[in-house]
Structure 1
Amino acid sequence: MSMKQDLSVFVRHRDGDVAGMELAVDGIRCAGCMQAIESGLSREADILSARVNLALKRVTVEWREGALRPETVIERLSKLGFKAYPFLPAADRDGASNGEKRLLRCLGVAGFAAMNIMLLSVSVWSGNNSDISPVTRDFFHWLSALLALPTAAYAGRPFFESALRALRAGAVNMDVPITLGVVLALGMSVVETWNHAEHAYFDGAVMLLFFLLIGRYLDELMRRRTRDLAGNLAALKAETATRLSANGETVVVPIAAISRGDLVLVRPGERVSVDGMVESGASDIDQSLVTGETAPISVVSGASVYAGTVNLSGALTVRVAAAGGGTLLDEIDRLMAQAVESRSRYVRLSDRAARLYAPLVHATALATFLGWIAFGLGWQQALIIAITVLIITCPCALGLAIPAVQVVAASALFRQKVMLKEGGALERLAEADTVVFDKTGTLTLPDPALVNAASIAPEVLRMAGSLAAASRHPLARPIALAAGNLPPIEGVREHHGLGLSALCDGAEMRLGSVAFCDAEAAAAPVAAAFPTASLIAWRHGEASAVFAVDQELRPDAEACVQALAALGLRVLILSGDRASAVAPMAARLGIADYKADLRPDEKLSELDRLAAQGCKVLMVGDGLNDAPALAKAHVSISPISATHLAQASADIVFLGDSLAPVASSIRTARQARKLMLENLWFAVLYNAIAVPVAIAGLATPLVAAAAMSGSSLIVTLNALRAARRSGASR
């Protein structure tokens, strides 16, 4: 008995009586699939919009509230030839993994069969053809058929299914001529073998599938995203909150049970779970992950706090403004989804070539068949020549031209401690003409450091470090680390918003704000020497010292900016940090164009402004507030120390503290794109020579398959130059 499906839980409801749903869709491979889905769904009167994200293989569909059921959308996609599911992060990852495994199995089967069929062909033709009896020849041909037909039926499914989907949707993609060539070659070979002819082309058809599966597998490897974007927000979203009841009792409840206007308690060390306003209490809040501001901010009654930030010192009672949905984290998630959708419109080099290729191949093969018929040749011979044209012009070299370079370049980048997450990023990186840096954690090292340690007496550093070890404050950690992570001193008292104190050798020792330690005189020269640093004072009796804690520039940051300028790129800084911290660093790096105090949406506006000027922006960032900009930019790079969401949003991730990989990645990408274009031009030149030969009937399908294999080998060997050039550029 069939069961009704209820997908209403996956529907998102928006203002203006608009409903929508995000779907993971099997079989989206190229710009042709994207066009088929969007145009096919847009023809439906009830559907307001349909947007395909090619990189993530997802479709976002919107309709008027109540106009249709969500199950209907899946049914209509099925009629277009695409199987769709409500998007679930785990299912999406499993689907990508299963797709790669399937291609690998098909590749193994095709390779094994191709080797054996070639051995049979060599056995037939290794001696004098006149010495081979027709019975022996037919036996080897039927043996080849026994291997080739089931192999093609299994290994060719990725191409056959894609071609059928395209034809059902009224479109044509690269897999249509592949399917046509393989099916016709196998069919003609069976007919020729049945009629005891000398030639059969089973080896050519299977070899064709083998080489094309190599290209398809390499392409699938580069398309796979390493992490789901939305799923990474879970690491920052608290699942529960401590709600305060009217009688003062505290109850831990799921975030879904929290409503606007509720009171929640946020204890020291906890992550804030809601957006709201502080009703009572005082504390320091670390909001670097959300806003990019390096220094913790002090909050008191009436101050706003946001989900995802960390409460450092005192307990807070917060009146809820938003929880679960509508928080700043959700706004960042929404901005990022829009940004990714915008960037997915980028059409890759191989897709652009494929749009022109498929109809041209079909027209050429059909014209060849009809032309030879018109010249009086029998339909069988005319069909063999047309099949030869299809095989010799098969997009094997075209299919390998891009993925082969991507894989070699990705391997070269990996040796330089750069991880490429998506193959199309290489092309976009090569096109970049503007580099936008975030400051905190990107131009600087991710963790603050004690920058005036050389001027602090070792004994003072030791004593201050023992006191700092008892604190969870982010500005205390650099002092404890510089002192060697000593055991914390006993009897430490914490003064909220001020600092720490303890008795040591009969006198009170303090560590905290300059005023708390009465160290204004000692702080003045330190502030003058380190204007962007946060100052932490120490006092023990009459002795005092002031520690300067600041974000240090990454090694060779200046050299990286100079290298980017030498490559002809414009360099800017867009930061959420305060202007007083951004301006000195921009001056030190020689970057004249910078902006500070930017919210995530303001960074997106700046990127839109640059795009409107015709700039192809490379965004380099690391924080949660950078994630939408990383997704929006033409291409993006993130350090391995970045937040999970920033890493997921970026196309490229680099390891280590050095910024050198940013410039070296651009050089490698430009070299790779040059090789891609060389391979595509070779494919064009190959077809310009081979197609007239095939049309003239001077080649057989077997010769066509050999020529196709040779062209694939040449583009692969040319792709290997990417590794050699990348090694030379280091």
Structure 2
Amino acid sequence: MTNLQAIGVSCYHCGLPVPSGSEFYAAILGQRRRMCCHGCQAVAESIVDNGLEDYYQHRTELPQTAEELVPEELRQLELYDHPEVQKSFVHDESGDLLEASLILEGITCAACIWLNERHLQQLNGVVSASINYSSHRARVRWDDSKIRLSQILAEIRRLGYHAHPFSAQQQEAVREQRRRQDFRGLAIAGLSAAQVMMVAVAFYAGPEQGLEPATEQLLRWFSLVITVPAMIYSAWPFYQAAWRSIVNRRVGMDVPISLGLITGFIGSVWVTFQGQGTVYYDTLTMLIFFLLATRYLERHAREKSVEAAENLHRLIPPMATRLDANQQPQIVPLHALQAGDTLLVKPGEAIAGDGVVIQGQSQVDEALLTGESRPVAKLPGAYVYAGSVNYESPLQVRVTGLGEQTVIAGIARLLDRAQAEKPRLARIADHVAMYFTSILLVAVVLIGAAWWWIAPERCFEIVLSVLVVSCPCALSLAAPAAFAAAGSHLVGRGVLLTRGHALETLARVTHVVFDKTGTLTMGRPRITATIPYHGYQAGTVLRIAASLEQASEHPLARSFMDMVPAGERAGGVDIRNHPGKGISGEVDGERYFIGNMALNPQLAYPEVAGVEPGSSVVWLSNAQQVVAAFVLADTMRPGVIELIDQLKSRNITVSILSGDTASSVQHFASIAGIGDWRAALTPEGKLTALREMQQRGEVVAMVGDGINDAPVLAGAQVSFAMGSGTQMARASGDIVLLGENLLEIDHAITTGRFTVSIVRQNFTWALVYNALALPFAAAGLIAPWMAAIGMSVSSLIVILNALRLR
């Protein structure tokens, strides 16, 4: 036995004897502890660094096995580093760059958001961290080669918060728990206020109505006992938020509320012990009740604004039917699916992942994704999206995207980004509220000093009234409540706000610029005429053309494949692509050419009569002669003409910037009634034209859908991206139209103007109320109970006015 063993020195972590000469230590619970080896030292330091130091306080016995040396909580965090576990909530952007969707528990105020975001962004390897105050959802992007997700979760835990992967069901459970907790606080405050108010009637009656001093003192003690639950339990969130504001050197509106409550309570307790004077238990309990009721309504309004995004997540079923190698159906959990699996989707079932229909024909409901109420027909080759519901017949779907790789997840990420970004008006309101609160606290000191000199007996009452009546709750709620209600309304119509500034910028729009192809038009040319020659039948030439085009990625190829089912097409042989001209290949033993005249220039091409401007002619030929001509034309989206008329009626200028030919653009512009158009523009040319408009003082809204529209979408003050467009366009757009209804553009502009109007009304009311109430309270004309009612009613008016947007 070594000397150290003889004197009983054991490892603080594992309990085994510390060998002679061992110099391993770890700082635990404020003391330097001995360790038996480097391994125990490393684990102990990891426990401390990850904020799990309480493990040592709460353990009842030393670990008996090697596995027990690491706390279960720490091992659970490390599970989140496993790729299979991350599949359902982590989005792989590129290489080691990952993005996770998390829920944060313990968030009570904006200071909590600020603290978590600031701490995470300082970690080496964390690229960005944004937290949505409405939904308490966090989006964290990090470099997995520098920091692990378990380390990020542990850092959040060290701050006193709890983070776990986002789940719509779990989020609802957390919200329901918080809702019950809020309701308990509200109920306790309401019961306290009701009982204290009944007792206060006797105080108001006074000695004139026979109230004896002994009875009055007894009622003071009774009121104190009833007030304590409200002051300690119901008002606890105010104290927490105020303390965090002070610690983070941010003067929030909970600071004057807490000061008023604590000051009023201490003063009332002092009077109770002295046995004479006025107590304010009725005012305090009433203030707590009204404040909690107002915040309960405000939180309900905020939660409604994020319901649409969470409803999207709830659409995805937890189980799916997968076909195995023998085409036998197997019911498997969602996390067991992989890209490339084949799903059997029965009528009435929701689709578990994005994919392509490989067998079957049916109607699919995509209303919650696109805002379109009518089901969409799905044939083999059509794309389907996770969360959409199959209506009529079974479909076999090959999975292309799951979890965070689905369209639904992309929409949710855009929503999170929009809700995490504060509009300019909301930021102004926050700054004004912060400065107003600071000025209020200074004014309270000055007013208190003045009344102490004028009438000391009234000083306490007036200071309490000023603190309560002037709390800038209504001012802080003026913008967020309105923007949340408007965002919720627009998402329900298939209009997705992806930037925080979008609504207030829409209100100032003076010029709307459209791309043509895929925006004003469907972007999917259709065959409007088939003209066969030399005895060929229309069905035959369509079949030959589709057999060749099925090997092409040209946008026009889809037009032919839509006309001929996959089972009727022949297998093309020796298919060759001729860039800028078309393709050629053998069908049924004969070589054919399909494209423009330059593909087979030695032939004589007939004149095609009646081709409207904007249409294209595609020629099918063999080595000897022209076999057929196909006339293709893009069709205008429904509602374009009505949209242009509505925009013009609002004195908004309308233009087209397109990369298409002048004849095609002019044709569609004349139909739509748009006089200002430019054609054959490169992406740089579009951006230059946009800059010219902006230099003239125009506030431009750009509407586009393609990759070439991404620069101009990003360059406009506000932009709409078509939901059917490219991923790059959607990422560049401030607003995404999930459906095909262009009339929603006009509705969004109208909503933006109405929202800004509501915010201005709320600002005006809040400022006028505070400007009027403060002098009256300072003059001693407003009693504390009147101040409590006035402040709460002011906040309630702001919330109800904002809810008009829904």
Q: TM exceeds 0.5?
A: yes
Q: Quick check: 1:622–1:639 contact (8 Å CA) kept in 2? A: yes
Larger Rg: 2
- Equivalent residue, structure 1, for 2:743: 660
In structure 1, distance between residues paired with 2:698 and 2:109? 25
| Secondary structure, aligned partner of 1:512 | strand
Q: 1:492 to 1:205 in 2, by over 3 A?
A: same
Task: Give the Cα separation in 1 of the matches to 2:179 and 2:486.
Answer: 21
Encode CA deviations 1:453-484: one digit per residue, 9 max, x unaligned.
7999xx95545555566563553443454x5x
Aligned partner of 1:292 in structure 2 is none
Query: Identity, % of aligned pairs?
Result: 28
Quote the residue 1:352 is aligned against: 428
Please, which of 247, 253, 259 is the counterpart of residue 168 of structure 1? 247
Q: Give 1:120's aligned residue.
A: 195
Mapped to 2, the partners of 1:446 and 1:28 lie a distance apart of 46
Aligned partners of 1:181 and 1:387 also within 8 Å: yes
- Name the structure 1 match of 2:395: none
Once the two structures are TM-superposed, the CA of residue 406 in structure 1 deviates from its matched residue by: 3.3
Aligned residue number for residue 280 of structure 2: 199
Q: Distance in 2 between matches of 1:666 and 1:193?
A: 59
> Given the alignment of the two structures, is residue 426 of structure 1 paired with residue 503 of structure 2, yes or no?
yes
Q: Name the residue aligned to 2:466.
A: 389
Verify the 8 A CA contact 2:527 2:630 in the aligned structure 1: yes
Q: Is the 8 A contact 1:25 1:82 kept in 2?
A: no
Instruction: Give, as a single letter, the amino acid of the residue that structure 1 aligns with 2:191.
Output: N
Question: Equivalent residue of 1:592, what SS?
Answer: strand
Inter-partner Cα distance in structure 1 for 2:462 and 2:782: 8
Specify which structure has the bigger relative contact order, considering alpha-carbon pairs within 8 angstroms and separated by 6 or more residues: 1
Could you tell me whether the CA contact under 8 Å between 2:603 and 2:626 is conserved in 1? no
Distance 2:696 2:139 in 1: 30
Structure 1: state its 5+ residue gaps. Answer: 10-18, 228-269, 272-336, 724-730
| SS of residue matched to 1:533 | strand
Matches within 5 A, 1:124-143: 124-125=199-200, 129=205, 133-134=215-216, 135=218, 138-143=221-226
**Contact (CA 8 Å) 2:452, 2:459: kept in 1 or not?**
no
- Against the structure 1 CA distance between its residues 500 and 620, is the aligned structure 2 distance closer, same or farther, given a 3 Å change threshold? farther
1:586-597 to structure 2, matched below 5 A, reads: 586=669, 589-593=674-678, 596-597=681-682
Query: How far did 1:684 drift?
Result: 0.9
> Is the 8 Å Cα contact of residues 50 and 60 (structure 1) preserved in structure 2?
yes
Superposed, 1:151-230 pairs within 5 Å as: 151-153=234-236, 156=237, 163-185=242-264, 198-200=279-281, 201-216=284-299, 218-219=301-302, 222=305, 226=309
SS at match of 1:207: helix
Note the 1:615-630 alignment, pairs <5 A.
615-623=698-706, 626=709, 630=713
- 1:513 corresponds in structure 2 to 595
Q: Cα distance, 1:500 vs. partner?
A: 7.0
Partners of 2:626 and 2:678 lie apart in 1 by: 44
Deviation at 1:94, TM superposition (A): 9.9
Give the direction of change, closer, same or farther, for the CA distance of 1:347–1:408 in structure 2 (3 Å limit).
Answer: closer
Deviation at 1:550, TM superposition (A): 3.4
Contact (CA 8 Å) 1:519, 1:544: kept in 2 or not? Answer: no
Deviation, 1:212, is: 3.1
List per-residue Cα deviations over 1:405-454 (Å, max 9, x = no partner).
33554465467554556665322221233334333322222533234479
Judging changes above 3 Å, is the alpha-carbon distance between structure 1 residues 489 and 676 closer, same or farther for their aligned structure 2 residues? closer
Kindly indicate whether residue 647 of structure 2 is the aligned counterpart of residue 564 of structure 1. yes
Amino acid at match of 2:435: P
Identify the residue that residue 183 of structure 2 maps to in structure 1.
108
Match of 1:492 in 2: 570
Query: C-alpha distance in 1, partners of 2:715/2:160?
Result: 27
Aligned residue number for residue 438 of structure 1? 515
**Root-mean-square deviation (CA), in Å?**
6.0
Q: 2: CA distance between counterparts of 1:28 and 1:619?
A: 37
1:155-198 deviation digits (Å, cap 9, x = unpaired): x2xx6555444433433344444444455455556656666754
Q: 8 Å contact 1:82–1:165 — kept in the other structure? A: no
**Within 1, Cα distance between the matches of 2:539 and 2:496?**
40
Amino acid in structure 2 at the alignment position of 1:355: H
Equivalent residue number for residue 724 of structure 2: 641
TM-superposed deviation, 1:542: 8.9
Distance 2:443 2:139 in 1: 38
- Please point out which of 491, 495, 501 is paired with 2:587: 501
Whole-angstrom CA distance in 1 between matches of 2:478 and 2:737: 26
Find the aligned partners of 2:611 and 2:566 in 1 and give their Cα distance. Answer: 31
Distance in 2 between residues matched to 1:667 and 1:402, nearest whole Å: 17
Give the secondary-structure state (helix, strand or coil) at the position aligned to 1:636: strand
- CA–CA separation in structure 2 for the residues paired with 1:94 and 1:630: 36
CA contact (8 A) 1:369 1:385 kept: no
Alignment: residue pair count: 597
What is the DSSP-based 3-state SS (H/G/I as helix, E as strand, rest coil) of the residue aligned with 2:512?
A: strand
Contact 1:530 1:548 in 2 (8 A): no
- Residues 448 and 463 of structure 2 are in contact (CA less than 8 Å); yes or no, is this contact kept in structure 1? no
Alignment of 1:83-98 (within 5 A): none
After the TM superposition, which of the residue ranges 657-666 and 383-392 deviates more from structure 2? 383-392
Partner SS, residue 705 of structure 1: helix
Amino acid at match of 1:172: V
Equivalent residues of 1:618, 1:636 under 8 A apart: yes
* Match in the other structure for 1:691: 774
Per the alignment, do residues 514 and 576 of structure 1 end up closer, same or farther by CA in structure 2, a change over 3 Å counting? Answer: closer
Q: d(CA) in 2 for partners of 1:193 and 1:460?
A: 103
Contact 1:438 1:573 in 2 (8 A): yes
Could you tell me whether the CA contact under 8 Å between 2:595 and 2:620 is conserved in 1? yes
2-structure distance, mates of 1:365, 1:171: 13
Q: Could you tell me which amino acid in structure 2 is paired with residue 658 of structure 1?
A: N
Partner of residue 554, structure 1:
637
Distance in 1 between the 2:738 and 2:100 partners? 33
Q: C-alpha displacement at 1:678, in angstroms? A: 1.2
Tell me: CA distance 1:532–1:380, structure 2 relative to 1, closer, same or farther (3 Å).
farther
What's the counterpart of residue 556 of structure 2?
A: 475
Q: Which runs of 5+ in 2 are unaligned?
A: 1-69, 83-96, 311-354, 357-412, 576-582
Letter matched to residue 681 of structure 2: A
- Alignment map for 1:285-304 (pairs within 5 Å): none
Q: Does 1:670 align with 2:757?
A: no
Q: CA deviation at 1:37?
A: 9.7
Report the CA distance shift for 1:359/1:531 in structure 2 as closer, same or farther (over 3 A): closer
Counterpart of 1:549 in 2: which secondary structure? strand
2:385 is matched with none
Paired letter, 1:638: A
1:136, distance to aligned residue in structure 2 (A): 5.2
What is the one-letter code of the residue matched to 2:755? A
Q: Is the 8 A contact 2:519 2:703 kept in 1?
A: yes
SS at match of 1:525: coil
Residues 465, 635 of structure 1: alpha-carbon distance in 2 compared, 3 angstrom cutoff: same
Q: 2:601, 2:752 → 1: CA distance?
A: 55
- Kindly state the Cα deviation for residue 686 of structure 1 after the two structures are TM-superposed: 1.0
Residue pairs, 1:313-332, within 5 angstroms:
none
Deviation of 1:488 after TM superposition, in Å, equals 5.1
Q: Is the Cα contact below 8 Å between 2:619 and 2:626 reproduced in 1?
A: no
Partners of 2:470 and 2:280 lie apart in 1 by 21
TM-score normalised by length of structure 1: 0.62
Whether contact under 8 Å (1:36, 1:166) holds in the other structure is no
Deviations 1:201-255 (A, max 9, x none): 122123213313533554466589959xxxxxxxxxxxxxxxxxxxxxxxxxxxx
SS in structure 1 at match of 2:452: coil
Residue 431 of structure 1 aligns to a residue whose secondary structure is: coil
What CA distance in whole angstroms lies between the structure 1 residues aligned with 2:100 and 2:431?
Answer: 27
Contact 1:226/1:648, CA 8 A, preserved across alignment: no
